[in-house]
Amino acid sequence: MSDIESRKKDHVELSLDGSSQYNIRPFESYRLPYRALPEINLEDVSTEVSLFGRQLSQPLIISSMTGGTKYATTINTNLAIAAEKSRVALGVGSQRIALEKKDAVATFELVRKYAPTAVLFANMGAIQLNNGRDLTDYRAIIKMIDADGLYLHINPLQEAIQPGGDTNYAGLLKKIELLISGLDVPVFVKEVGHGIDEQTAKQLFEIGVAGVDVAGLGGTSYAWIEAQRAGEQYYADWFRNLGVPTDEAVIAAAKHKGDKIVVASGGIRDPLSAVKARALGADYYASARSFLKRAVVSADETINAIELARRGIQITLFSCGAKDWGDAKNIKLIHTSDTNYSDNPRI
């Protein structure tokens, strides 16, 4: 197994370890307004939305996870089958390995095979623009899965802790801008779990990104994961909670989005958090670990989890008196505390 294959396998296994989850619980300081007389029928409440002109059953993007290894084949197959049947969007893991190892290509190509009509996002790190990759490479990964959009991930903290990580971030913003101008699909920029701050979100929208996935503190800590891989417990303790909590990141990005898209991710593990994110300014929500746990089992398990989430959002909207996801942006949250830290166990 190559170094990159081993790293990807480690990432999946460590992310399933409960210790990888932040003790920061975003959205906990907000309460949804309950309506005892919602004046609508539950079955009339719609969770459907549109993305890139395609109808989705709910505003869900299954976050980028893995690919490129035999270990990932089952996961990506089950995710693709589930995304297709459930009509949700899906992002693949970083495809850089497929540019370096030809036998890894099939682990990504299969996603479009099993999800012929789903909204799919290709994915590669923006940092690769500083490491010799160019427009041709990004076009290649988009073509590889016939993607509808591209996720560029940014992860400076993870890379700083990762053995041999890429930390040459100088001058990257201009290269992202040039890349966007040369591509024919919408480009989203996402963090991997430490959040996107307001200044960065503003800069990204200004250079033309179609969407920002804030991927804030609250879900999986890749600082913790890389610290485990490096055998550096001090780093795990020091850096696991460094970043921007998801609720704060959503509010900050929404200030500058204009007609662009904000995706809330990072600790969105229940429908109440998804609806709170919508009320704070998000357009869609994304989640990885909740579905990864099911995808290692079967496509049916994954489909059941997606439907459970959809039904949960429908019930949440109904309980707040909102007729659909669009109406949820008008929900007035009740601020209950100045803290979002908790030692409560995570799912």
pLDDT in tens, 143-158: 999 999 999 999 999 9
3-state secondary structure the chain: CCHHHHHHHHHHHHHCCHHHECCECCCCCEECCCCCCCCCCHHHCECCEEECCEEECCCEEECCCCCCCHHHHHHHHHHHHHHHHHCCEEECCCCHHHHHCHHHHHHHHHHHHHCCCCCEEEEEEHHHHHCCCCHHHHHHHHHHCCCCEEEEECCHHHHHHCCCCCCCCCCHHHHHHHHHHHCCCCEEEECCCCCCCHHHHHHHHHCCCCEEECCCECCECHHHHHHHHHCCHHHHHHHCCCCCEHHHHHHHHHCCCCCCEEEECCCCCCHHHHHHHHHHCCCEEEECHHHHHHHCCCHHHHHHHHHHHHHHHHHHHHHCCCCECCHHHHCCCEECCCCCECCCCCC
pLDDT in tens, 230-286: 888 888 888 888 999 999 999 999 999 999 999 999 999 899 999 999 999 999 999
Of 163 and 71, which is predicted with more confidence?
163
Domains of the chain by residue range: 3-335
User: pLDDT confidence of 18, banded at 50, 70, 90?
Assistant: low
pLDDT in tens, 30-84: 999 999 999 999 999 999 999 999 999 999 999 976 655 677 899 999 999 999 9
CATH fold label, 3-335: TIM Barrel (3.20.20)
